[in-house]
């Protein structure tokens, strides 16, 4: 497999200088963290020294320089040119070593991407104690610890929209790599002595998290053969469960030694590892052709069995892509995707985010271990969901998932207080909220990347990703405004009602995408309406 060369960067020198500056800026924060070893790595209230301040400037400069290295010249004209290029994978293409390399790179990218919001659940208990923030385990404080979750989830919504624009304007690969640089930069959350700085860094981290996932789906949709596309994309996207396993294991193993801060600092090595994989992440052929690099584009397409063609698009469509998602027959599908994403976000962030805290409140001191076991037990289900989506039916898989989640959530509602003291029952019931809801979020994002045309695919995927975070944003905003931390029963009831409605909408409106070429699914301005 021939990796992608340096020519894929608009300015390779600027890109690598930016990466080096960001990395150096993060390392400038490590000494203060290490000096606090004898204090249990508690930095709250300590002033930032000169080295840390210089490191902050280096990070900001590095982010700007690396972005310059990725941005093409004449971006507006380039976006218009790319909008008229359609990328299609060939039906008879077999999975090659190039596909395998890309799948491994994307699996790693998705894993470290999902680890970021998952980490919130495991850092909030320690953060609430160190910064004296209000939470169920620290009820005498006034400032709610949920503000950190609010900042992060707000960032994910903004990032999904922003990166959706970037992915359609500057290319898929460049957008993924820039999110990786953001992961490196925001790892300094683990060394921030001020809660305010943590909020700012978590907002930026959330933007990178929200942006990477839909772009990964978009790139996979344009490079994977139709026969395998659905199953492979869901399998990669459903690695949310794997990320939860890794994060809960790291929390159980490292937090007692290095405090909650170590979970943020892990972003440095994982972000660098993602950048190191850049040679196995291809640039979009659309981007290469639009910039006049036809030879590079055809080389990429030859490795992945794709073809490109030029198609006329009305000038109005080029000026207003976001509203195009809500036009004609796209409207109904867009609204269903938003609703399913919103419902899954309610459960994923409303239930899972506070589960470690709620479990500790009712007497489970080993909450991290319980949730780790639940994620491990449910991990095989991600393979089942991927197989169902690719081999059985994309539409029916969405209906099945929403129905199973509804049943599980009603079980939380009716069992209520009987969960206290029953470690095994809690772990078994948590399998569906952790793995089932994560799989549904992945399936919805994958579905969105399939039904929209190439010129608006990244934006459609970004909208789907944003909707999965929007439900969480609503829950966290309510808690941060003064309401109590949501109980397991209350959020389960709201989630069950939302999932019930989502099942009905999916049954009535969604179309089948299994084994169908992208251009068959999304013709210019209309969706085919047959169902299977």
- pLDDT by residue (tens digit) across 340-372? 989 888 887 777 666 766 777 766 777 767 777
How much is the pLDDT for 79? 54
- Residue of higher predicted confidence among 474 and 238: 474
Q: What angle do CA 356, 361, 367 make, to 5 degrees?
A: 35
Helix/strand/coil for 299: helix
3-state SS, residue 345: helix
Output the pLDDT for position 450. Answer: 82
Can you give the pLDDT at residue 464?
84
Residue 158 above 80 pLDDT?
yes
User: What digits encode the pLDDT tens for the residues 115-150?
Assistant: 877 788 788 888 988 999 887 777 788 888 878 888
pLDDT at residue 89, as a whole number: 62
H or E stretch including 306?
A: strand 306-310
- Lowest average pLDDT, out of 60-74, 95-109, 360-374, 399-413, goes to 360-374
Average pLDDT over every residue of 14-23: 96
E-assigned strands of 143-193? none
**pLDDT above 50 for 315:** no
Q: Which of 117, 111, 219, 206 is nearest to 175 (CA)?
A: 219
Strands (E), 32-167: 85-89
φ, ψ for residue 522, nearest 5 deg: -130, 85
Instruction: Specify the pLDDT at position 238.
Output: 62
φ and ψ at 462, to 5 degrees? Answer: -65, -40
Structure tokens that stand for 77 in this block: 């004209």
Per-residue pLDDT reduced to its tens digit, 170-203 = 778 888 999 999 999 999 989 989 898 889 888 9
pLDDT of residue 524: 44
User: Which of 16-20, 97-101, 460-464 reaches the highest mean pLDDT?
Assistant: 16-20
> What is the tens place of the pLDDT at every residue in 385-398?
888 988 899 899 99
Q: What is the mean pLDDT of residues 159-179?
A: 81
Q: Which residues have C-beta within 8 Å of that of residue 348, sequence separation ≥ 6?
A: 433, 437, 438, 441, 468, 471, 472
Residues 72, 438: Cα–Cα separation, whole Å? 35
Contact 471, 345 (CB under 8 A): yes
pLDDT at site 319: 46
Q: Which residues contact 84 (CB under 8 A, 6 or more apart)?
A: 310, 311, 312, 313, 455
Other Cβ atoms less than 10 A from the Cβ of 142: the count is 7
Separation between Cα atoms, residue 7 and residue 28, nearest integer Å: 31
pLDDT of residue 260: 92
Task: Give the confidence band of 507 by pLDDT, cuts at 50, 70, 90.
Answer: very high
Q: Is 399 strand, coil or helix?
A: helix
């Amino acid at each position: 497999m021939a990796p992608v060369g340096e020519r894929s960067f608009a300015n390779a020198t600027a890109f690598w200088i930016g990466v080096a500056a960001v990395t150096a800026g993060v390392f400038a924060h490590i000494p203060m963290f290490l000096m606090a070893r004898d204090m249990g790595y508690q930095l709250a209230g300590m002033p930032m020294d000169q080295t840390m301040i210089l490191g902050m400037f280096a990070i900001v400069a590095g982010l700007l320089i690396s972005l310059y290295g990725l941005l093409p010249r004449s971006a507006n004209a380039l976006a218009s040119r790319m909008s008229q290029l359609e990328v299609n994978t060939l039906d008879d293409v077999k999975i090659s070593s190039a596909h395998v390399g890309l799948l491994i790179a994307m699996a790693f990218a998705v894993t470290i991407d999902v680890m970021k919001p998952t980490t919130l659940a495991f850092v909030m208990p320690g953060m609430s104690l160190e910064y004296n923030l209000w939470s169920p385990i620290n009820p005498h404080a006034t400032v709610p610890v949920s503000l950190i979750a609010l900042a992060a989830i707000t960032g994910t919504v903004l990032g999904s929209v922003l990166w959706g624009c970037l992915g359609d304007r500057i290319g898929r690969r460049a957008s993924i790599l820039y999110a990786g640089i953001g992961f490196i930069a925001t790892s300094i959350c683990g060394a921030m002595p001020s809660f305010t700085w943590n909020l700012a860094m978590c907002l930026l981290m959330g933007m990178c998290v929200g942006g990477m996932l839909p772009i990964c789906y978009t790139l996979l949709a344009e490079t994977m053969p139709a026969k395998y596309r659905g199953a492979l994309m869901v399998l990669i996207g459903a690695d949310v469960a794997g990320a939860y396993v890794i994060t809960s294991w790291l929390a159980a193993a490292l937090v007692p030694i290095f405090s909650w801060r170590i979970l943020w600092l892990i972003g440095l090595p994982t972000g660098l590892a993602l950048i190191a994989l850049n040679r196995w992440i291809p640039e979009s052929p659309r981007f290469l052709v639009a910039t006049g690099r036809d030879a590079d584009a055809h080389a990429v397409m030859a490795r992945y069995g794709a073809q490109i063609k030029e198609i006329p698009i009305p000038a109005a469509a080029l000026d207003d892509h976001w509203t195009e998602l809500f036009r004609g027959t796209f409207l109904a599908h867009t609204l269903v995707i938003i609703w399913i994403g919103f419902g899954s976000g309610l459960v994923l962030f409303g239930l899972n985010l506070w589960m470690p805290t709620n479990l500790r409140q009712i007497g489970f001191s080993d909450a991290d271990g319980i949730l780790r076991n639940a994620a491990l037990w449910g991990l095989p289900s991600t393979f089942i969901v991927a197989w169902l989506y690719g081999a059985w039916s994309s539409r029916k898989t969405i209906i099945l998932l929403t129905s199973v989640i509804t049943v599980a959530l009603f079980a939380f509602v009716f069992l209520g207080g009987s969960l206290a003291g029953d470690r095994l029952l809690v772990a078994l019931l948590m399998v569906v909220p952790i793995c089932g809801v994560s799989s549904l979020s992945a399936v919805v994002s994958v579905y969105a990347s399939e039904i929209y045309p190439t010129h608006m695919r990244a934006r459609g995927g970004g909208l789907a990703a944003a909707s999965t975070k929007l439900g969480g944003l609503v829950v966290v905003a309510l808690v941060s405004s003064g309401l109590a931390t949501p109980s397991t029963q209350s959020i389960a009831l709201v989630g069950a009602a939302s999932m019930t409605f989502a099942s009905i909408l999916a049954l009535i409106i969604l179309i089948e995408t299994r084994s169908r070429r992208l251009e068959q699914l999304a013709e210019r301005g209309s969706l085919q309406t047959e169902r299977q």
